[in-house]
Amino acid sequence: MASNYPASLDTTATLPAVGGVGANLSAFPHDALHGNADDAIIAVETELGTAPSGSFSTVKARFDALDTAFNGRVISHTRKTSDQATISAIVAVISPSACTHTANRRYLFTVSLLIAATAASNEFAVYLRNVGDGLTYRRWSWDSAGTLTSTFHGEHYTESSISGSQTWRIDVERLSGAGTATVYGSSITPNATPGSAPRFSTLTIEDVGSV
């Protein structure tokens, strides 16, 4: 029986303990044991590839560093989970929970929205607002030239003058146009293709370094 790895972990059925072999050598021939061990070793090497620790002392140290870098950078990520239709006046479309900002740090806000309008030539305004002080920190303009679903993608804003616990939200206002305008959440399947437009609406806040 060959090694199960990497499809699944090996057990004593494929890599039996030495102490259990003597009881029934016919069930575990000596050459088969070596073959199974060789298969397992090669499978581990193939799975990890060459130099998997990179410039770090161990693979674990490399993963720990990546985990710290990514988890320490993103302080809030909110995905809209339900569709929101009939945008006429200003409506809140993404309302994340509170997050903590540290003084003298810069924070990058990235907004991605997926909106469909049933009539052509809709014009929207997208606002980044702070729930606590009620101020608008950023306003973007966005034109939807046709009735097809369009994407307000990857708009950025960097803020460094605020600290402490803060709650942010994204508002959308239709400035002109007719018909129904829907901000999509749950009904659009996320698009996993790298570099493609988002298939859902999100607000991400990242710590990008000291001022």
Q: Read off the pLDDT of each residue in 128-137 and give the average, rounded to a whole number.
A: 91
pLDDT at 87 over 80: no
SS (H, E, C) the chain: CCCCCCCCCCCCCCCCCHHHHHHHCCCCCHHHHHHHHHHHHHHHHHHHCCCCCCCCCCHHHHHHHHHHHHHHHEEEEEECCCCECCCCCEEEEECCCCEEECCCEEEEEEEEEEEEECCCCEEEEEEEEECCCCCEEEEEEEEECCCCCEEEEEEEEEECCCCEEECEEEEEEEEECCCCEEECCCCCCCCCCCCCCCCCCEEEEEEEEEC
pLDDT at 203 over 80: yes
Q: Write down the architecture of domain 75-210 according to CATH.
A: Sandwich (2.60)
Predicted local distance difference test score (pLDDT) of residue 165: 93
**Taking the model in full, what pTM does it have?**
0.61
What is the rounded average pLDDT for all residues in the chain?
A: 78
Segments making up each domain of the chain, as ranges: 18-69, 75-210
pLDDT band for position 207 (50/70/90)?
A: confident
Predicted local distance difference test score (pLDDT) of residue 169: 92
List pLDDT tens digits, range 13-37. 777 766 555 555 566 666 777 777 8
Q: Read off the pLDDT of each residue in 102-127 and give the average, rounded to a whole number.
A: 83
Predicted local distance difference test score (pLDDT) of residue 39: 83
Residue 150 CB neighbour total at 10 angstroms:
19
Predicted local distance difference test score (pLDDT) of residue 145: 57
pLDDT band for position 159 (50/70/90)?
A: confident
Residue 201 CB neighbour total at 10 angstroms:
26
Farthest-apart Cα atoms in the chain, separation = 84
For residues 140 and 21, the model is more confident at: 140
For residues 211 and 128, the model is more confident at: 128
